[in-house]
Amino acid sequence: MKLYAIILTPVSGFGTTLKGDTIFGHFCWQAAYDPSLLQGGLEQQIAAYSEKPFAVFSSAFPVVEKEKTAFAFKRPELPFSFMLPAGKDKAEDMRQRKDFKKKKWMLIGEDLHLDVKTANFISDQGLLEEVTGTLSEGTRRQMGKAENAEFLKLFSQAHNSINRMTQTTGTGNFAPYAKENIYYLPDTKLAVFVLIEETATDIDRVTLGLKRIGISGFGRDASTGLGRYKTGKFYELPLSRAVNSNACYTLAPCVPAKGVFKESFFSPFVRFGKHGDRLAAYGNPFKNPVIMADEGAVLIPDNKNFFNRPYTGQAVNNVSKAIPETVVQGYAPYIPFKLEMN
């Protein structure tokens, strides 16, 4: 498999977070409409997905383009003691931890080398400052007029249904309600990493599928204008083969296989899935919930042979009563690294 980074530029708000398993689902819909995106078509590739995935998508991460390109990943889901040096005393330890708790991001270069002891951890404000420095002059002027600028903001958008009998809103199903949408800083660039099995597809076809998703809209409320983005450049990245690696940092929600890891650190993430596109209005569009380890998990395998494969996790089947062939991407690309155990 080969690893690529694909750059996306949001041009609207998002109703659904750009996570790897959801990006995979959207790409499958593109392959259903255009069989040429996958060798042999979607049905053939989905049938083999549990043994040989044609592509494994990461979640989307902010890009900082200065002298060198860096990616802003989530801080690893590790105890702080793995990432912080020991303080001189208990008071200093507490001050370090309080400050470090705000640093939710870490900047990693294009070589994807990770050392949790020396990584550049930054806060939301720090990320805003890093990204603002790369914006166009016009955008910076507009940002200067804004109050309480943030890299990512959540806005509540009011919705309602009209009772056609009374021509008004009301109670129950007709009561007004709100949904939260995600908005990025203008001109923000996001990177999606994808592992591609080149016997099944290639980067040009994967990029074409993602481009079409960005035009039609990604996730919830795409029909109202949410989930739009532009697809930019893509480039190949080397698959890290760190000889001394004993842990992996995941880049998408995944379902770790049983009996493979001797220790794991992660935040649980429950995917309450739903069929999209034309099946959203199907008789039973809802999928069974899937409990996953969210991106940023740190998994420590039992066997060194684990690192011979550039992704971790497993495909998830039997999630839909309506369409038994449905598969959820329980895989995730990962960054191997050396973790010093305390």
User: Can you list the domains of the chain with their CATH numbers?
Assistant: 241-342 (2.60.40)
**pLDDT at residue number 94:** 87
Q: pLDDT-based confidence at 66, cuts 50/70/90?
A: confident
Q: Per-residue pLDDT for 14 more than 90?
A: yes
Tokens linked to 183: 């908005």
Higher per-residue pLDDT: 290 or 144: 290
Alpha carbons within 13 A on the beta-carbon side of 260? 15
Quote the mean pLDDT of the chain. 89
Q: How many CB atoms lie within 10 A of CB 261?
A: 19
- Phi, psi dihedral angles at 269 (to 5 degrees): -135, 125
The percentage of the chain sitting over the pLDDT mark of 70, rounded to a whole number, equals 93
Which residues are CB-contacts of 52 (< 8 A; sequence separation ≥ 6)?
197, 200
Residues 259-293: tens digit of each pLDDT: 999 999 999 999 998 887 777 766 778 889 999 99
**pLDDT at residue number 146:** 62
Residues 21-36: tens digit of each pLDDT: 999 999 999 999 999 9
DSSP code for 281 = G
Tokens linked to 335: 């960054």
The single-letter code of the amino acid at 335 is: I
**pLDDT at residue number 203:** 97
Q: Per-residue pLDDT for 131 more than 90?
A: no
Could you give the CA distance from residue 268 to residue 292 in angstroms, rounded to a whole number? 6
**pLDDT at residue number 9:** 95
SS (H, E, C) 69-136: EEEEEECCCCCHHHCCCCCCCHHHHHHHHHHHCCCCEEEEECCCCCCCCCCEEECHHHHHHHHHCCCC
Interval 215-225 mean pLDDT: 90
**pLDDT at residue number 178:** 77
